[in-house]
Amino acid sequence: MAFEMTNVPPPTTPRVSLTFSGLMILKPGTAARTCEIGVQKFERDHLFQVMLILNRPNRPPVGAAVFTGPLVTPFTIRRAVNPPAAPDFKVYEVTRFDRTVPVPATTPPPFDHRWALNLALKHPRVDINEDTKPVITLNTGVLYTPSLTSSSFSPRFERNGTPDDRLNQFAPSLAVSIEPEGRIIFEGVDSGLPLHLELPRAEDPPDMTYTLAFVNEPPSFALPPHDEFAFYYRMIQVDGSEIREGDRFRLRFGPQVRLDEIPCMPTTKNP
């Protein structure tokens, strides 16, 4: 099953946005028009957090922690309607997508979701393994790429015995736009207690916007650069088996200053 697509550009400043950065895989859900998000929880130097960013015009953003710790129970993000609405998650795709053509830095988002590194293009029949579960299930919104790495980083995939795959640019993070009139519920269990967050909040002013940020990155910039893509091999399998060392790819960059957009990046698996 593949993601359902739309060629209608989603708004990049809706009332409610979701953002994703760090080690996680976004894949089509078992139910139609849903997205499942597997979060890497096997590295001690990566910390999974869900942060709520509150934005009001002419004021600095305010952040609040919603969840911190490994994902050990399933979470769901759905529309706040009663009775529950059918899932309507989609991905944004342009008519002509060409990774080999650089996108000027002045080009505004949204960008095609296919700028994210798609694990299925490197390993057909790949899927997350059982150790990566449970997952976050997303039932609504439109997935897109909010920004791109600079082409000067010269990203490329390497594997012994095969030519280098030069990527030019890719998505260092991903975002989901919720319809302007939409309200969502983020729910699950945290330390045995119910977690329930509804956005927009009834008590907030109408000009407030919200970003629910899902982050799974090192807690400090002081860590030395490392191949984040290698960590994904602890999350995935092909036909139920671990991918052999000789079949694995390495993500490499040219000389560059370390930035927050590399090397931590989310990936997709589509189909």
Model confidence pLDDT, tens digit, residues 152-183: 888 899 999 999 999 889 999 999 999 867 78
Task: Work out how many domains the chain is built from and give that number.
Answer: 1
Q: What is the mean pLDDT of residues 37-66?
A: 93
Residue 51 CA, distance from chain mean position: 14
Q: What is the mean pLDDT of residues 212-229?
A: 79
Q: What is the mean pLDDT of residues 82-91?
A: 88
Asked if pLDDT for residue 28 goes beyond 80, the answer is yes
Asked if pLDDT for residue 147 goes beyond 80, the answer is yes
Phi, psi values for residue 190, rounded to 5° = -125, 115
Q: What is the mean pLDDT of residues 260-271?
A: 80
- Beta-carbon contacts of 108 under 8 Å, excluding residues fewer than 6 positions away, are 12
How would DSSP label each residue in the chain? ----EE-SPPPSS-SEEEEEEESEEEEE-SSTT-EEEEE----TT-EEEEEEEEE-TTS--EEEEEEES---S-EEEEE--SSPPPP--EEE--SS--TTSPPPTTPPSPB-GGGSEEHHHHSTTEEE-GGG-S-EEE-S-EEEB-----GGG--EEEETTEEEEE-S---SSEEEEPPTT--EEEEEEETTEEEEEEES-TTS-TT-EEEEEEEEE-S-TTSPP--HHHHGGGTEEETTBPPPGGG--EEE--S----TTSS---EE---
Asked if pLDDT for residue 219 goes beyond 80, the answer is no
Q: What is the mean pLDDT of residues 34-50?
A: 91
User: 52 lies in which domain range?
Assistant: 5-268
- pLDDT digits over 93-128, tens only? 998 899 888 898 889 999 999 999 999 999 999 999
> In the structure, what pLDDT confidence band is assigned to residue 263 with cuts at 50, 70 and 90?
low
What distance in Å separates the CA atoms of residue 74 and residue 132, rounded to the nearest whole number? 11
The closest alpha carbon to 155, from 270, 261, 268, belongs to 261
Asked if pLDDT for residue 199 goes beyond 70, the answer is yes
Q: Encoding tokens for residue 152? A: 């000067």
Asked if pLDDT for residue 135 goes beyond 90, the answer is yes
Asked if pLDDT for residue 261 goes beyond 70, the answer is no
